[in-house]
């Protein structure tokens, strides 16, 4: 699936919920399904700066696509990172760099997060794009 198709799917899923409590519960459930990052990647160098809670993210290239793994010590943040990895993992660096993040606004996520969590969300997206730049240079 393309990034745009995944984003559309997420927008459709979020439109099914009546209120934000249901959406928060859904995000938390997504976090529970996030594959565990290997302990060897839970290093300070993989911590995302700008997040209120600890978020570790690791990327590696598999053929021409980037695979991301991540974890967080906060359950809601873990769900947010799971949502981002669903969109950006297994995509080419070029696709990641060209993708917009409008789906975040369309589902209303940023406006329903505390300012520090919203900043963390921006930091996570920025880190994903930085990994894509780094991986693109290696291809």
Assign 131 to helix, strand or coil: helix
Residue pair 83/30 in contact by the 8 Å Cβ criterion: yes
Q: Which of 51, 81, 107, 113 is catalytic?
A: 51
Structure tokens at 7: 């984003």
Alpha carbon of residue 131 to chain centroid: 12
Structure tokens at 5: 């198709």
Q: Is 51 a catalytic residue?
A: yes
Catalytic residues: 51
């Amino acid at each position: 699936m393309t990034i745009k198709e995944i984003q559309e799917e997420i927008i459709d899923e979020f439109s099914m919920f009546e209120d934000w409590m249901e959406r928060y519960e859904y995000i938390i459930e997504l976090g529970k399904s996030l594959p565990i990052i290997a302990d060897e990647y839970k290093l300070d160098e993989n911590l995302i700066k700008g997040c209120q809670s600890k978020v570790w993210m690791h990327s590696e290239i598999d053929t021409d696509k980037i695979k991301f793994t991540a974890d967080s010590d906060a359950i809601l943040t873990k769900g947010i990172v799971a949502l981002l990895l669903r969109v950006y993992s297994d995509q080419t660096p070029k696709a990641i760099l060209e993708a917009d993040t409008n789906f975040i606004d369309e589902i209303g996520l940023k406006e329903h997060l505390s300012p520090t969590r919203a900043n963390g969300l921006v930091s996570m997206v920025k880190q994903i794009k930085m990994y894509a730049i780094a991986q693109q240079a290696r291809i």
